[in-house]
């Protein structure tokens, strides 16, 4: 097989957007609903969407499949008001990730998925993504039951607009300036991961 000609265009970097969560635990289903709505929008080449639900082990293996960037979408409790959208850079966590041996394959947070990712990468030789971001929403109620609370339901479209901006899709008709002001970002994230960014992943 011949090598690509010098100067030939390279295929776009692969990006995976994964919705994580349990739809039977109220607001924990935020990530699943967000990626469902995201599927109605055209996305750039190389961007894939998956509803991972509670299949964290499967997701960890999939993340090792040559992706440059992974966006995990999940309910994320950080002490803010319910419905607050968070953007976190989880590429190099500030605190140690949970040990893989303590993971529950049926209820895995993004941190737990990434802990398993480290173990699988070492054992299989798979390549971890260059960058991992978490688009999260502050939950109001994660008790047993189907359906999102009002503030989290209202935040789903805001999260979708943020994801579209992060992957370089056209979200101008979807988001407005007021929605941008409500996004909370982690203080340690890079400048191009803030709510005002239009730089693709």
- List, for residues 95-143, the tens digit of each pLDDT value: 444 444 444 544 566 777 777 766 777 666 677 888 999 999 999 999 9
For residues 20 and 31, give the distance between their C-alpha atoms in angstroms, rounded to a whole number: 5
Closest CA to 154 of 134, 178, 172: 178
If you average pLDDT over every residue of the chain, what do you get? 76
Phi first, then psi, for residue 185 (nearest 5°) are: -120, 150
Closest CA to 63 of 78, 75, 48: 48
pLDDT of residue 50: 92
The sign of the torsion formed by the CA atoms of 23, 37, 159, 114 equals positive
For residues 134 and 132, give the distance between their C-alpha atoms in angstroms, rounded to a whole number: 7
- pLDDT, one tens digit per residue, over 71-104 is 999 999 999 999 999 999 988 754 444 444 444 5
Q: Helix, strand or coil for residue 27?
A: helix
Domains annotated for the chain, with CATH where assigned, are 15-193 (3.40.50.1450)
- Whether 85 and 184 have beta carbons less than 8 Å apart is answered as yes
- Whether 36 and 89 have beta carbons less than 8 Å apart is answered as no
- Whether 15 and 167 have beta carbons less than 8 Å apart is answered as yes
pTM above 0.75, yes or no: no
pLDDT of residue 182: 47
Exposure of 81 by Cβ count < 10 A (0-12 exposed, 13-18 middle, 19+ buried)?
Answer: exposed
Share of the chain above pLDDT 90, in %: 47
Q: Helix, strand or coil for residue 181?
A: helix
């Amino acid at each position: 097989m011949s090598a690509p000609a010098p100067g030939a265009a390279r295929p776009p970097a692969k990006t995976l957007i994964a919705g994580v969560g349990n739809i039977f635990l109220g607001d924990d289903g935020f990530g699943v609903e967000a990626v469902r709505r995201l599927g109605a929008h055209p996305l750039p080449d190389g961007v894939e969407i998956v509803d991972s639900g509670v299949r964290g082990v499967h997701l960890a293996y999939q993340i090792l499949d040559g992706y440059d960037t992974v966006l995990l979408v999940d309910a994320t409790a950080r002490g803010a008001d319910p419905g607050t959208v968070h953007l976190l850079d989880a590429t190099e966590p500030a605190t140690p990730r949970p040990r893989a041996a303590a993971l529950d394959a049926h209820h895995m947070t993004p941190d737990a998925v990434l802990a398993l990712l480290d173990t699988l990468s070492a054992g299989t030789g798979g390549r971890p993504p260059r960058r991992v971001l978490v688009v999260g929403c502050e939950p109001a109620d994660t008790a047993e039951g189907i359906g999102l609370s009002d503030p989290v339901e209202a935040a789903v479209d805001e999260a979708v607009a943020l994801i579209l901006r992060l992957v370089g899709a056209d979200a101008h008709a979807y988001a407005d300036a007021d929605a941008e002001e409500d996004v909370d970002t982690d203080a340690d994230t890079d400048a191009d991961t803030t709510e005002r960014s239009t730089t693709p992943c």
